[in-house]
Structure 1
Amino acid sequence: MLISKLKSTVALIITTSASIIVHAQSVKNSGSCNAYPTNATCASYVDYSVFLPDKVAMSQIEAQLQSLTQLESLLGGVSPVCLDTYVRYQCSKAYPKCVTTNSTDISVYSACSSACKAVNIACAKLFEMAGQTAFLPNCSTEVTSIGFGLQPDDMCNNMPTKLTKDQIEDGKLNLSAVPEGFIMAECPAPFLVDPLAATGSSLNDKYCRYGCCIPCPSQDLFYKKNWAIKGFLATDVIRFISAVLSLILVISYLVLPDKRRHPSLLILNLSVAIFIFSMVVFFSIGDPKRLQCAANGISPGDMGNNTLCAAQGAILIFGSFATCLWCAALILNLHVHTVWNSNFFTNRYILLNVVCWGIPAAIMSIASGLHAVKFEFANLCLVSMEYIFPLFFYPLAAIVCPSFLVHIATFFYIAKIAVREGLESDLTQSLSTGTMTDRPPGVSKKHVMDAVKIQWRALLLAVVAIVTVLFYWLFYMTQMSRMTELQNNPALTLDWLECMLTPGSTQNQCADVISSHLPPFALIIVAETLVSTIGIWLFVMFGKRSLWHEWNDLIYDIRISFGRHGRAEKNGEQFFAL
């Protein structure tokens, strides 16, 4: 509706100007100065005597310029700057300024070439969206009502604007004034055409408006230019390194002797879980949009439109729960060994595998069955915001929080034993004997400290994993609701969209407009970096010198087995000499 009205109105203005020009070309400067009525169409701008060519009546021009009133009703609310610029240009073109220097000489000042250029700057996007770019004036070929071309600024009729300084500086389109059902004829970059808009429907109500859609992923446009692309590429690189390093430990614990028994078997299973958690980056690195988006390039990827997103998301869910459960197993093992002097988990690996691999598989299956896997932000698919708390974070909290409390209890116990032993060393033998009766059987300071020396790496890794999960959980709880609100309430993106469609605006300027409705970018990067470094932490803590000695010995033994009568010597070339 708006397109057809704008087309007819602008066409009428162009036709009018053309008819006046054709008539005026034959008369050139033959004409007279006339007072302009205060109630006429251009009275807001024309406050001077106007030049009228002979045989051209003012009523004829006025009748045609009434279309500017129609244009004002269409554009005034949407773009005051465009309307003001366009009307000033058309009025100066229709009514040249007439100055009488003496009784016989008349100086005529017509439209400025700069005013024509200003129309193209202020109205180009609006006319482009309406599909009427052909009606934008061609400043190199325009001819005024007196038959001449546009004049330079130092000798033309330069009409001052009627807008305030704030209105000019603001300059944004007011999209709330656009009538319901309006469809842009052409979508300006970077927006994409909604293929269903012509049918009265929409490809995606959350990301499409006026027949144009925000391209996927929207985060690339909501934040400052290239921030999201470069920031999440950096976290992908970190996660890739984590995957490679955790794979090295997986292979080491599978191949090296004496690594497939308790408690090293706990480290092996944790390494496998962390590798699964980190290897999902292989799906997205190099081309994250194949995960983030549907084939149409507009809708976010989910289980219904992107099988790669579905597979990666399911693996990430499985790896997340497996990592937390095997970390919990490490903490429980240290607790029962240190506090109760028990090797309870030594022969319980069937139970551990059922629990630590079975629960992740079950939750992954539930998420897949509910079609809950979806891309929300960053470069990976996870559980959609609708299900992420009941299906992902609350179950993780049920694992992490008790494990954290058990960890705290273990260290309180260690501190208690250390303090007790220190006090007893300063007391008499008789008092010492009396206080030792409260100690659990078989527990001593030496036993506790030996346990800590043996398992401190596993314990520290478990703590890192727990802190990472807690931080990520708190980040989601406090920040991601903003992203959900932004998607579900299109009114919040209206100011940003107006900024993006306003001539001269940049993505960085428009990012500031919407920043209050988005999670802070630095906080997102910190959260993603923390979860991406878990494999690096694993390698730092367990890629110790003794591991490389064992590889050295294994390679030596292999060389011996293939050598001739033991010709290879162990103190020759080796894998690592540490």
Structure 2
Amino acid sequence: MLIKTLITAVSALAFSTVTAQAAVGGTCNQYPTNATCSKYVNYNVFLPTNIDFATIEAQFQPLAELQSTLAQLSPSCFDAYSRYSCSLSYSKCELEGNNTLRITEACMSSCEAVHTYCSTVFKFTGKTELLPDCSTATTITKSPLQDEGSCNNVPTQLTNDELKDKTLDLSYIPHGFVMSECPAPFLRDHFAAEVPETTIDANHCRFGCCIPCPAQNLNWATRGFLATDILRFISSVLSFVLVLSYLILPDKRRHPSLLILNLSIAIFIFSMVVFFSIGDPKKLQCAANGINASDMNNNTLCAAQGALLIFGSLSTVLWCSALILNLHIHTVWNSNFFTNRYILLNLVCWGIPVAIMSTALGLHAVKFEFANLCLVSMEYIFPMFFYPMAAIVCPSFIIHIGTFFYIAKIAVREGLESDMTQSLSTGTMSERPAGVSRKHVMVAVKIQWRALLLAVVAIVAVLFYWLFYMTQMSRMTDLQTNPASILDWLQCMLVPGNSQNICADVISPHLPPFALIIVAEALVSSIGIMLFVTFGKRSLWREWNDLIYDMRFRGSAEKHGEQFFAL
């Protein structure tokens, strides 16, 4: 490799300087203005007896070539190494009274600067053994390096900002270059180590080193997704309580309570996917090698969780839509259309999710994208997941809003009718469909807010998540196809002491805002909580109490009356 060859040569310069005689017998000489170190040596130099400039300069020949590589790859390293090498080989010489030579040797600080600015470069190229040992290094006069204040401190040619910049310009690394060692937190790309131009993951690996999976693993992101996991866990527990309630309580296993039962089952399936990642999200997010993101081909856990999430998401919106439609038909048209049509409801509300889930699995489209979940890949997620979901949710929301406004209109008229004549009352009622009584509508007003609340929460959560994906997730796809941004991020990561948290700012313009990610995840993670708040009424606990303490009575009698409102 070119870089390895040049670094080896310049290191040899520092450690193979001309063997000199003692300082006695040397002379002070003006340094040639066209020689290699002319940028750094602006003083008279000491040449030992029998040593001339040509002999020393011969060992600086690689520096000319090094300027076109290391000087661009890491200007601060090239500057530090040049200052150290030049001062080591050319001690400062001054002629004092009585023709006495005063020789000033190289500084210990210049050697330490090489370690500061070049250790990373040498580490990548497998040449760490070439870093100078500052405690044993000697000058051309065989003198040790001197302390600050009594040494030949060659000034830097960089500005303060350039000197502080310890990053590497990776765009100057030759094609096919493979680092000999990967700094933390990078992992070795074993494919590149065997065949330089291959890689185990084109998105997350460069120069034989890979960022560990998941790439999103920032401290604040990890804590945020843990919080949404806790919300989803609570949702799963609360929705399971409702599932048990509607399965066990005797008067809940019939229409319309069956709608709530099926909706609770769907939301439980949607929420319980958190159990796949709880305690150790990486087992779901990452393949066994710790580098590749999970997909259904390299992680069966991801395939199972993704399939359940697709199924649970679509079945949730379908059963929620069925509930909304049932409320509309019963309230506006005074009809129990769905009472004897549960075979059709089950075929639609469970069958469509099964079909879409099977299609996603057949296309191998389930993979980990972000957060702690596997879902449909970005390539298929809109046509296969969000568009069908929007086709279900949006009409249902419009229908439910229409139902709500209809009830509000009837409620206003009902208040006016108490003081009006019978003829006005008759005129008002004629605007409602036949068979809808005032009493029926007014009773519906008292409980309609529950279903409206659930519908609004579900719609807002789904639409927000959809808009989030549509407007933000494409930025992550663009990042993967933007080599310049990835190189900038890698340059930051390769600086000793930097971390993913520090370097997140470099690629933050290409990532969704963290707050937006958490809000989107929190909304969909809390649907089970909202289900419980909506339908976990006081009467439900009274029924549990009656069942526990009076099994016979509760077994022989069921509630009667307007069953639609006994949800």
Q: Normalised by the size of structure 2, how large is the TM-score?
A: 0.94
RMSD: 1.8
2:47 paired with 1:60: no
Question: What amino acid does structure 2 have at the position aligned with 1:42?
Answer: C
SS at 1:219 equivalent = coil
Deviation at 1:558, TM superposition (A): 5.3
2:330 paired with 1:337: yes
Q: Is the 2:11–2:131 contact (alpha carbons within 8 Å) kept by the matching residues of 1?
A: no
Q: Is the 1:16–1:65 contact (alpha carbons within 8 Å) kept by the matching residues of 2?
A: no
Question: What amino acid does structure 2 have at the position aligned with 1:212?
Answer: C
Q: Is the 2:4–2:127 contact (alpha carbons within 8 Å) kept by the matching residues of 1?
A: no
Number of residue equivalences? 552
Write the mapping of 1:92-491 to structure 2, written as runs, cut at 5 A: 92-197=87-192, 198-199=194-195, 200-220=197-217, 225-491=218-484
| Partners of 1:473 and 1:514 in 2: CA distance | 23
Q: Is the 1:121–1:503 contact (alpha carbons within 8 Å) kept by the matching residues of 2?
A: no
| Partners of 1:454 and 1:258 in 2: CA distance | 19
Question: What amino acid does structure 2 have at the position aligned with 1:98?
Answer: C
Deviation at 1:423, TM superposition (A): 4.0
| Partners of 2:445 and 2:100 in 1: CA distance | 106
| Partners of 2:326 and 2:87 in 1: CA distance | 87
Q: CA offsets per residue over residues 368-402 of structure 1, 9 Å max, x none?
A: 00000000000110000000000000000000010
Question: What amino acid does structure 2 have at the position aligned with 1:492?
Answer: S
SS at 1:438 equivalent = coil
Deviation at 1:11, TM superposition (A): 4.7
Question: What amino acid does structure 1 have at the position aligned with 2:102?
Answer: S
Deviation at 1:358, TM superposition (A): 0.7
Q: CA distance change for structure 1 residues 43 and 304 in 2, over 3 Å: closer, same or farther?
A: same
SS at 1:51 equivalent = strand
| Partners of 1:29 and 1:79 in 2: CA distance | 39
Q: Is the 1:337–1:451 contact (alpha carbons within 8 Å) kept by the matching residues of 2?
A: no
Deviation at 1:506, TM superposition (A): 4.2
Identity of aligned residues (%): 68
SS at 1:154 equivalent = coil
Comparing 410-419 and 472-481, the one that deviates more = 410-419
The answer for the alignment partner of 2:527 in structure 1 is 534
Q: CA offsets per residue over residues 416-448 of structure 1, 9 Å max, x none?
A: 212333444454333333343333222233311
| Partners of 2:381 and 2:553 in 1: CA distance | 55
SS at 2:73 equivalent = coil
Q: Is the 2:219–2:501 contact (alpha carbons within 8 Å) kept by the matching residues of 1?
A: no
Q: CA distance change for structure 1 residues 438 and 537 in 2, over 3 Å: closer, same or farther?
A: closer
SS at 1:98 equivalent = strand
2:13 paired with 1:10: no
Specify which of 63, 79, 85 is matched with residue 84 of structure 1: 79
SS at 2:93 equivalent = strand
Deviation at 1:127, TM superposition (A): 0.7
SS at 1:540 equivalent = helix
Specify which of 22, 26, 29 is matched with residue 31 of structure 1: 26
The answer for the alignment partner of 1:571 in structure 2 is none
| Partners of 1:504 and 1:104 in 2: CA distance | 51
Question: What amino acid does structure 2 have at the position aligned with 1:186?
Answer: E
Deviation at 1:280, TM superposition (A): 0.5
Comparing 530-539 and 86-95, the one that deviates more = 530-539
The answer for the alignment partner of 1:570 in structure 2 is none
Q: Is the 2:76–2:165 contact (alpha carbons within 8 Å) kept by the matching residues of 1?
A: no
Question: What amino acid does structure 2 have at the position aligned with 1:539?
Answer: F
| Partners of 1:315 and 1:505 in 2: CA distance | 39
Deviation at 1:364, TM superposition (A): 0.5
The answer for the alignment partner of 1:502 in structure 2 is 495
Q: Is the 2:10–2:60 contact (alpha carbons within 8 Å) kept by the matching residues of 1?
A: no
Q: Is the 1:92–1:157 contact (alpha carbons within 8 Å) kept by the matching residues of 2?
A: yes
Q: CA distance change for structure 1 residues 272 and 29 in 2, over 3 Å: closer, same or farther?
A: farther
SS at 1:551 equivalent = helix
The runs of 5 or more residues in structure 1 that have no matched partner are 562-578
Q: CA offsets per residue over residues 209-264 of structure 1, 9 Å max, x none?
A: 111112111111xxxx4112211111111111111111111111111120111111
The answer for the alignment partner of 2:69 in structure 1 is 74
| Partners of 2:22 and 2:164 in 1: CA distance | 42
Deviation at 1:59, TM superposition (A): 1.5
Q: CA distance change for structure 1 residues 323 and 419 in 2, over 3 Å: closer, same or farther?
A: same
Deviation at 1:7, TM superposition (A): 4.8
Q: Is the 1:29–1:146 contact (alpha carbons within 8 Å) kept by the matching residues of 2?
A: no
| Partners of 1:536 and 1:102 in 2: CA distance | 92
Q: CA offsets per residue over residues 298-343 of structure 1, 9 Å max, x none?
A: 1110011111100100000000001000100110011001110111
Deviation at 1:71, TM superposition (A): 2.2
Q: CA distance change for structure 1 residues 349 and 454 in 2, over 3 Å: closer, same or farther?
A: farther
Q: Is the 1:13–1:67 contact (alpha carbons within 8 Å) kept by the matching residues of 2?
A: no
Q: Is the 1:2–1:182 contact (alpha carbons within 8 Å) kept by the matching residues of 2?
A: no
Q: CA offsets per residue over residues 172-231 of structure 1, 9 Å max, x none?
A: 2111111111111111111111111131311111111111112111111xxxx4112211
| Partners of 2:52 and 2:552 in 1: CA distance | 108
Write the mapping of 1:44-55 to structure 2, written as runs, cut at 5 A: 44-55=39-50
SS at 1:235 equivalent = helix
Q: Normalised by the size of structure 1, how large is the TM-score?
A: 0.92
